Amino acid sequence: MASNEQTPLDTVLNFLESYAKRSVEGCMAAMAVSKPILLFGTNENEVFRTIDDVRQALTRDFGSMANIRLGERRNTHVESSPTLASVIVELPISFQNDENHVETLFRYALTLTLEGDQWKICSGMASVPFEAGTYSFTQ
C-alpha cells in the first residue's frame, strides 16, 4: 500500500483501536475540526453533525458496552488524493452489552480530510449487515 493510502488507513485503525479501548478522547483525536461533520451510526436515529454529537454517542456506547474486541480486518479499500481520502473497512467485533455477549460484523465507510499534516475523519457511516436471506424490504 502506498504511503498516501497507509496514513489515512492508520488514522481509521487508531480510531477503531481507541473504540475497542473505550477511549472517548482517543476516538475524538481522529475527528476533523476544520470541516462540517456528518456521520451515520448503525441505528436509524444515529445521525451526528457536530463534534459534541459524536462525543455524546461514544460516551453512550461505552456506558453500555464492555470487553470490546475487534477481529482481523476482512476487507479494506483506500483511495487518497492530496487532501481527501476514503477508507472502507470491514471487521468482526464482539462486546458485552448488559448481560448479552454480542458478536457481529461492522462495516465502515469513512471520508478523511487533511488537517495540517494529519488525516481526520469528517464523514462516514457504520453498518451491521444482515445475514443473507434474513431481511426483507416489505413488511
Considering the domain boundaries, does residue 93 fall inside one? Answer: yes
Band (139; pLDDT cuts 50, 70, 90): low
Considering the domain boundaries, does residue 79 fall inside one? Answer: yes
Considering the domain boundaries, does residue 26 fall inside one? Answer: yes
Considering the domain boundaries, does residue 135 fall inside one? Answer: no
Range of the domain at 59: 3-127
Give the CA angle between residues 109, 112, 118 to the nearest 5°: 140
CATH number at 112 reads 3.10.450.50
Say how far apart CA 75 and CA 8 lie, in whole Å.
Answer: 16
Can you tell me whether residue 18 is helix, strand or coil? helix
Residue 75 has pLDDT above 90, yes or no: yes
Considering the domain boundaries, does residue 60 fall inside one? Answer: yes
Considering the domain boundaries, does residue 35 fall inside one? Answer: yes
6-15, 17-26, 93-102: which range is least confident on average? 93-102
Say how far apart CA 51 and CA 84 lie, in whole Å.
Answer: 19
Per-chain mean pLDDT for the chain: 92
- The model scores a pTM over 0.85: yes
Average pLDDT for 97-126: 94
Average pLDDT for 123-131: 89
Query: What is the number of other CB atoms lying within 10 angstroms of the CB of residue 30?
Result: 22
Average pLDDT for 83-89: 97
Considering the domain boundaries, does residue 100 fall inside one? Answer: yes
Residue 1 has pLDDT above 80, yes or no: no
Band (134; pLDDT cuts 50, 70, 90): low
State the total domains in the chain.
1
Considering the domain boundaries, does residue 34 fall inside one? Answer: yes
For residue 48, report the phi and psi dihedrals to the nearest 5 degrees: -115, 120
Identify the residue whose cell numbers are 449487515. 129
Task: Write out pLDDT tens, residues 18-67.
Answer: 999 999 999 999 999 998 999 999 889 999 999 999 999 999 999 999 99
Average pLDDT for 116-126: 96
